Amino acid sequence: MPDIAADRLERLTAAIFAGAGSSAEEAATVARHLISANLVGHDSHGVLNIPVYIERIRAGHIVPGAPFELLRDDATTTVVDGHWGFGYTVTNRALDITLDKARRHGTAATTILRQGHIGRLGDYTIRGAQAGMLTFLTADSGRGPKKVAPYGGREPRLGTNPISIGVPSATEAPFCLDMATSAAAAGKLKVAQARGEQVPEHWLVDADGNPSGDPTAADNGGALQPLGGPEGFKGFGLSAMVEIMAGILPGLGFGVEPSGRHNDGCFLFCVKVDALRPLDTFRNEIKDFADYLNATRPARGFQQVYHPGQIEHQRMQQRLRDGIPVEDKTWQALLGLCAQYGVAPAE
């Protein structure tokens, strides 16, 4: 499994998507998000997805350069139709609009429909937090293929339905929650498959409803389980709420659409901290809170207590220094795409 320098991998990724029909700006945006996911250790949302996106472009499920349409544009609310464009470009534009409205009015909310995969949610909520906003984002696969069973079930009825919250802070690492409401992100199963590894049995049930460590179980009649293990009803409850906010509220509905087109619906909400209390005071208090959490004595088997977002920041520093590990299978697929699009995978 080679370790590839982040800047090299980002250039290669952008060149592949430019070859597949994206503008230079769009290709750079997609590449930046994918490499960012790898850098923080969320390999499930990184370059592993490039061959999948290329397949979706060829099938017409992702449309490079698609129109960006405002279906509703009021003082504090927005509804965006991405017309099946890359989720990265659509959601970034929607975030810009939402931040601008929140600056002027204190809060703003946006829903998004008909766009491709938006990747790691934390990229957006961290950007919102850096702009002085409490930023909340949820995503749902609309009526695309499902991977997650409701609590007590063995049939997939829900997406992995992630939630992210970014908080303005004076900490070195972003203070950010970014989590799936399932036992694991679906992409983590792809990572395990690419590496020939098993996964924890509490992540999945097979087609007969039995716990399974086989990462292909969800592709063969089984399903991911909701977050929480024996208390999975909590993850299921969160997942159902995300389905409502990011699926039903934008107008995507629920269930599965027969064509299998992936469709990341989103609900985005920003709150201007300065509208409630001085921003610098709040940011410094969040740092004090993070320090308070970090000072907790670790339990047996742990070296340190981290605040949300801190481990990802540390991993990013390490991978910027040492390179990003890319599975052999994924690297060979990327080299194959380079050959197709005339991209030189320069050292």
For residue range 103-138, list pLDDT tens digits in order. Answer: 999 999 999 999 999 999 999 999 999 999 999 999
Fold classified for 193-224: Wheat Germ Agglutinin (Isolectin 2); domain 1 (3.30.60)
User: How many CA within 13 A on the CB side of residue 184?
Assistant: 22
For residue 115, count other CB atoms closer than 10 A to its CB.
Answer: 30
What is the pLDDT at residue 170?
98
> CATH 3.30.60.50 region(s) of the chain?
193-224
The three-point CA angle 95-267-78 to 5° equals 60
293 contacts 307 by C-beta, under 8 angstroms: yes
User: How many CA within 13 A on the CB side of residue 73?
Assistant: 9
Whether domain 1-59+329-347 has CATH 3.40.630.10: no
> CATH 1.10.1530.10 region(s) of the chain?
1-59+329-347
Q: How confident is the model at residue 55 (pLDDT cuts 50, 70, 90)?
A: very high
- Each residue of 261-279: pLDDT tens digit? 788 899 999 999 999 999 9
**228: phi > 0 → left, psi -120 to 50 → alpha, else beta; which?**
left
- Which residue has tokens 């605040």? 307
Give the global pTM. Answer: 0.93
What is the pLDDT at residue 10?
96
> CATH 3.30.1370.60 region(s) of the chain?
62-183+229-308
Fold classified for 62-183+229-308: Ribosomal Protein S8; Chain: A, domain 1 (3.30.1370)
313 contacts 172 by C-beta, under 8 angstroms: yes
Q: Tell me whether strands 107-115 and 77-85 are parallel, antiparallel or unpaired.
A: parallel
For residue 332, count other CB atoms closer than 10 A to its CB.
Answer: 10
For residue 148, count other CB atoms closer than 10 A to its CB.
Answer: 30
Q: How confident is the model at residue 346 (pLDDT cuts 50, 70, 90)?
A: low
- Within 8 A by CB and 6+ apart from 306, the residues are 293, 294
